[in-house]
Amino acid sequence: MTDQETFLLRRAQRGSGEAFEALIGSYENGIYRTCLRMMGENQAALDACQETFIKLYRYVGTFKGDSAFSTWVYRVTSNVCLDELRKRSRKSAASLDEMEENGHFESAAAVRDIPEEDLLRSEQRRVLMSALNHLNPEHKIAIVLRDIQGFSYDEIAEMLDISLGTLKSRISRARAQLRDQLSPHMELLGGYGVKRCRRDEHSEL
């Protein structure tokens, strides 16, 4: 941490909300991206972000510097998302028809005037998110932190409090499952998603 961050941390740990906001501000975008990829849609991501910020504020006093502060921040974020996804898994998953009825997908009328290029990107995102959502929560968070957020294996293992071997196994299995999920959509994705999984499957393993 920089001297300024250390100063803000000490003030936040003494109860300064202003110092906490200044300290966490640089992490807001990363926290939101992680929550969005994990939760799959904006409102759930915002709810997870809010819960994350509450927990970070509540427990900032427990941070002792045993890891990087960023590691601690994303550990809390990951745990919030995992807890929420586990709650979801105990409920019946909504069917695509139900999701459409609830407005999760655009109607034909709503997308009629959207440029074709934007529609293509939207469909690509939908396919990729659908594939991510087929992963179990533990595999999903590993892939999000590694392949989307770009953290190192060592950083992620520390965030998730698991061994390096366990992490690599989860990522390898997740990439294999993603490859299977994305293979039928190679034309839409331009082969990117599948090629990425194949190229990365054995990297750093």
Counted domains in the chain: 2
Check whether residue 78 and residue 120 sit in a common domain.
no
Does a structural domain hold residue 101? no
Q: What is the pTM of this model?
A: 0.73
**Tens-digit pLDDT profile for residues 75-84:** 999 999 999 9
Does a structural domain hold residue 43? yes
Written as six digits, the tokens of 98 are 């139900």
Does a structural domain hold residue 200? yes
Q: Which of 37, 56, 91 is the last residue of a domain?
A: 91
pLDDT of 93 > 90? The answer is: no
Does a structural domain hold residue 24? yes
Q: Under 8 Å CB-to-CB from 127, ≥6 apart: which residues?
A: 182, 185, 188, 189, 193
Q: What is the mean pLDDT of residues 128-154?
A: 91
CATH code of the domain covering residue 69: 1.10.1740.10
Cα–Cα distance measured from residue 157 to residue 172, given in angstroms and rounded to the nearest whole number: 14
pLDDT of 97 > 50? The answer is: no
Q: Which of 91, 120, 138 is the last residue of a domain?
A: 91
Q: Under 8 Å CB-to-CB from 131, ≥6 apart: which residues?
A: 178, 181, 182, 193
Does a structural domain hold residue 99? no
Q: What is the mean pLDDT of residues 116-145?
A: 80
Does a structural domain hold residue 134? yes
17 or 98, which is more confident? 17
Q: What is the mean pLDDT of residues 62-76?
A: 94
CATH code of the domain covering residue 178: 1.10.10.10
pLDDT of 105 > 70? The answer is: no
**Tens-digit pLDDT profile for residues 146-165:** 988 899 999 999 999 999 99
Q: What is the mean pLDDT of residues 182-203?
A: 57
Check whether residue 205 and residue 115 sit in a common domain.
yes
Check whether residue 124 and residue 204 sit in a common domain.
yes
Does a structural domain hold residue 7? yes
205 or 17, which is more confident? 17
Check whether residue 117 and residue 161 sit in a common domain.
yes
Say if CB 135 and CB 143 are below 8 A apart: yes
Does a structural domain hold residue 79? yes
61 or 118, which is more confident? 61
Range of the domain at 143: 111-205
